[in-house]
């Protein structure tokens, strides 16, 4: 008996463009179990495939829709509350942050492929090892990028904001918080990739919704409307929401099952 390479069914999901506030496109792999016709995910009939795909993909679709709407609302809150100075500082900081964040996000997206392949092959141990390796790599890249960019925040921000010193100062402050949060953002993306690659797509919906709708937006409103904090409180809310999201991500990962989620009945 020889080795058999088990193909996986690929589903491409698109996230909104930009850096921290909007994630780049990523590819999720949903695994099928061993057997004939594994590439179609059926036992001889194509009729059942759309429903099986929909069952796994709707949480990801809803997650992306909620995330896009949430960041639209968040930007509106920042603009109406703190004005264009804060919004411009926010946007410039994100553009500079993307130099390090995009490679880290790419690792998170590829995690779904590694996990999906190994889950489809029935190798749970190697799937978990892939998640661990991705965590180590994304943290290393994030820490190195933070250490490289942190001393040059004023020079980098000055490329865009040299003539608006007030916005430049606010952007420098924002970059401090966003650079120090880079490892957390990278870990978040690895968790999302591991949930989607293993077929536990409802976990990605829970985590994304919690980070934005149940943590970040409420914190921004709390700091502004109740505690009357200055514009820099937006950065505090982002850092805190990333930290709480990682805590929830760890909890959800403990319940993540690295087993095929589509059963065809074929042996």
The domain segmentation of the chain, as residue ranges, is 64-254
Look at residues 27, 59, 8, 58 and name the one whose alpha carbon lies nearest to residue 262. Answer: 8
Confidence of residue 50 (pLDDT cuts 50, 70, 90): confident
Residue pLDDT, tens place only, 213-237? 999 999 999 999 999 999 889 999 9
Residue positions counted in the chain:
267
Q: Which two tokens stand for residue 197?
A: 């690659």
Residue pLDDT, tens place only, 182-209? 999 999 999 999 999 999 999 999 999 9
pLDDT at 179 over 80: yes
| Cα dihedral value 65, 68, 72, 75, nearest 10 | 150
Mean pLDDT of 122-131: 94
Cα→Cα distances 191→29, 108, 187, 224, Å: 14, 7, 6, 31
Confidence of residue 52 (pLDDT cuts 50, 70, 90): confident
Tell me which of 11 and 50 has the higher pLDDT: 50
Question: How does DSSP classify residue 41?
Answer: T
How much of the chain, in percent, has pLDDT values that exceed 90? Answer: 62
């Amino acid at each position: 008996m020889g080795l058999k390479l088990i193909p996986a069914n690929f589903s491409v999901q698109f996230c909104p463009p930009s850096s921290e506030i909007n994630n780049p496109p990523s590819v999720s792999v949903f695994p099928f179990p061993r057997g004939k016709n594994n590439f179609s995910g059926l036992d001889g009939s194509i009729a059942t495939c759309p429903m099986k795909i929909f069952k796994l993909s709707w949480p990801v679709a809803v997650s992306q829709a909620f995330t896009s709407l949430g960041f639209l609302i968040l930007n509106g809150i920042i603009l109406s509350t703190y004005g264009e100075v804060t919004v411009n500082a926010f946007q410039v900081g994100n553009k500079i942050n993307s130099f390090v964040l995009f490679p880290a996000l790419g690792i998170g997206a590829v995690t779904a492929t590694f996990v999906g392949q190994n889950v489809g092959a029935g190798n749970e141990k190697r799937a978990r090892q892939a998640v661990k390796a991705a965590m180590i790599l994304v943290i290393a890249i994030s820490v190195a990028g933070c250490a490289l960019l942190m001393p040059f925040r004023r020079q980098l921000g000055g490329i865009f904001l040299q003539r608006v010193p007030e916005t430049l100062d606010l952007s420098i402050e924002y970059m401090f918080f966003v650079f120090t949060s880079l490892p957390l953002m990278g870990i978040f993306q690895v968790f999302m990739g591991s949930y989607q690659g293993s077929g536990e797509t409802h976990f990605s919906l829970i985590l994304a919704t919690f980070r934005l709708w149940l943590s970040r937006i409420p914190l921004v409103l709390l700091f502004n409307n109740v505690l009357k904090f200055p514009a820099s409180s937006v950065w505090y809310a982002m850092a805190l929401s990333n930290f709480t999201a990682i805590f929830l991500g760890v909890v959800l990962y403990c319940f993540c099952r690295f087993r095929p989620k589509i059963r065809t009945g074929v042996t």
